Amino acid sequence: MENLITVENLSKKYSSIEAVKNLNFTINENEILALLGPNGCGKTTTIAMMLGLLKPTSGRVLIHGQDIEKNRISLLHKMNFISPYIELPKKLTVKENLIVYGNLYGIKKIETRIEYLVEKLRLSEFIYKKTGELSSGQKNRVSLAKALINEPSVLFLDEPTASLDPETGDFVRSFIEKISSEKKMSILLASHNMNEVKRLCKKVLMMKNGLIIDEGTPDNLINKHGKKNLEEVFLKLNRNKNEL
């Protein structure tokens, strides 16, 4: 399997604070990798550098073998991102937003692509509604549609099911599972939902204070630390101050 994403010695320093320290990992084609860690451990900083939003202090991110710093625009055509902390313009209807982003990503048959996403993500009942008038579950599905508008081969999901009810959360997780295997996507998932991580991810990176402190499959980590589930592993690693 091809390494679609390679992160090499990636670091970010803001004046005296080292937000991310010398990260190294890869994500294969058709693989979902989870980035776990407490708030402020460097997950968002890492994703931002991988998306070219933030310039690393040192190290590099290779996507499809190309350095994001040197080929930002061409690589962004193949990538997308969803986060509960960013939104789409509220005054535009769902369809208008998808048309705007379809154009920004240079999609040739925008209408066909929107129709496909509307059907897959069940957007038809509110496609002509203003985005700001939608419930958080509906907004989440629209953000997912925007994130898939360019058929990305690399997708970054930052807490994709945060604040969703269990039914919508399950729908989103099933959809991610299905689309990633159908399209052979590489996905980086940052989440605080351990069940979600266990269900979706083949590999987990545990982060703390900007460092990767452990990694493995969810089952490997659970067995290695002698815990019942991933949440207990997370708590053990983050409460154990002597570990670092």
Tell me which residues touch other proteins (CB under 8 A).
14, 44-45, 48, 51-55, 73-74, 76-77, 79-81, 83, 85-91, 101, 104-106, 146
In 64-166, DSSP assigns E strands to: 66-67, 79-82, 154-158
What's at 5, amino acid-wise?
I
Q: How far is the CB of 26 from other proteins (least distance, A)?
A: 21
- State which residue, 141 or 198, has the beta carbon closest to other proteins: 141
| 57 CB neighbour count, 10 Å cutoff | 15
Query: Both tokens of residue 73?
Result: 């625009």
How far is residue 224's CA from residue 206's CA, in Å, rounded to a whole number? 13
CA 161 to CA 78: how far, in whole Å? 23
Nearer to other proteins, 121 or 154 (CB): 154
* Helix H or strand E encompassing 189: strand 186-190
Tokens 């997780």 -> residue: 173
Q: How far is the CB of 201 from other proteins (least distance, A)?
A: 22
Q: How far apart are CA 149 and CA 126, in angstroms?
A: 17
Which is closer to other proteins, CB of 15 or CB of 242?
15
Q: How far is the CB of 77 from other proteins (least distance, A)?
A: 5
- Whether 156 contacts 50, CB under 8 Å: yes
CB atoms within 10 A of CB 202: 13
- Smaller CB distance to other proteins: residue 92 or 213? 92
CB of 92 to other proteins, least distance (A): 9
Residues in the chain: 244
Q: Least Å distance between CB 52 and other proteins?
A: 8
Which residue's CB is nearer to other proteins, number 92 or number 211?
92
Considering the complex, what minimum distance in angstroms separates the CB of residue 115 from other proteins? 21
Q: Where are the beta strands (DSSP E) in 15-161?
A: 17-28, 32-36, 58-63, 66-67, 79-82, 154-158
- In the complex with other proteins, the residue whose CB is nearer, 3 or 71, is 71
